[in-house]
Amino acid sequence: MKDHQKTTKIDYRFLKIAISLGYRNLGATWPNPSVGCVIVKNNHIVGVGNTACKGRPHAEKIALEQAKSNANDSTVYLTLEPCSHFGKTNPCTSELIKAKVKRVVCPLKDPNPRVNGKGFELLRSHGIVVDNTPLLLKEIKELNEGFITSIEKKRPYITLKLAMSLNGKIATKENKSSWISGDKSRLFVQMLRSKHDAIMIGTKTAFWDNPRLNLRDQFKNLPQPVKIILDKNLKLFEQLDMNKSITNHKTFLVHDVNLKKEKTKNLKAKGINTLGISTLKNGNLDLNDLFKKLSKLGLTRVLVEGGGTLATSLLESNLVDKLILFTAGIILDKEGIDGIHLNLSNAINLDICDRYTLDNSRIIGNDVAHFWNIK
């Protein structure tokens, strides 16, 4: 990358605004990334944009339409390299060239092979200064972590969320878990849901809790995330009323791919999507196969709210990118359900154990939430 210029407080300020714009529709733009764009002329903002719901129009197009002729000789701040390939619309690089912008500040190259630096080079070839200074690069990568993971690992970015007691239990021995965490934590989880493309739960959680898996309270008018429920043998409908969980075409029941087609046909007739997944030798659904197929559907960010069995399987399969643990000020019975029950040797050497990185922690009501990055 070329054309690094001296970072200024002004660049920092406007790039920060672009990042905040990118978060506005995060979770609702898949399969496209949620990009923020700020157009500045004479140190004044003349246009702003963020990727619209369902991925179009792009942030650059929205901002340029606001700026109009003021885009001429302006500086554009972006949270991802502008696209250079033709799709349903003209590439954003062409629009920026047409608008005669003077400078583009963007620290992050698009990992998509169709772009991957081509957008920057096209801008440079038309005399536009491209500044790839690593200013706020960590924050910008966090905004784009779902999109980056979908390109590099061919699966969505996976966040595992668990609410646990002080002694590490997620439910009583009778599977009662409502509510371990407090009201403020549950409201915070609504915000977390709104920033993910999909919410996933396992069979046991669906059976015992039959959750709605939707956005509520002040988030209820935002685009609803896709609901993914693991149901290997498609028996949940026979065991409980799932009407509150299954409300629209955004629900997927994940099952053994070898099930008889009659079962899936009956569900599809009711407007319910099914997704067949291969199974492992132990009979469990192959989670790697599941997430690859979810990525092909366009999902980039999945929040897993399943119980201990699903959480353990994800960790054992190295399929967790971020672990969010809500610890509540309550102690449950010793025979309660463990949140994580990895099968580790008693003689294990702690020096070779994986060490997760604490991203941040915060007090939410009477609970403490820890955010762990897992490599």
The residues carrying an active-site annotation are 60
At residue 199, φ and ψ (nearest 5 deg) are -120, 135
Q: Which residues does 236 contact at the CB level (< 8 Å), separation at least 6? A: 203, 206, 207, 229, 242, 253
Query: Distance between CA 255 and CA 232 in Å, rounded?
Result: 4
Amino acid code (one letter) for 367: D
Query: Distance between CA 125 and CA 97 in Å, rounded?
Result: 10
Query: Distance between CA 220 and CA 236 in Å, rounded?
Result: 26
Strands 44-50 and 36-41 come out as antiparallel
Query: Distance between CA 79 and CA 139 in Å, rounded?
Result: 9
| Six-digit token string for 176 | 């009662």
> What dihedral do alpha carbons 7, 12, 13, 19 form, nearest 10°?
140
| Among the listed residues 228, 241, 243, 325, the one whose alpha carbon sits nearest the alpha carbon of residue 285 | 228
CB 336 within 8 A of CB 169: yes
Which whole-number Å values give the CA distances from 180 to 135, 169, 170, 186, 215, in the listed order? 41, 9, 7, 10, 19
Query: Distance between CA 333 and CA 304 in Å, rounded?
Result: 25
Query: Distance between CA 340 and CA 348 in Å, rounded?
Result: 17
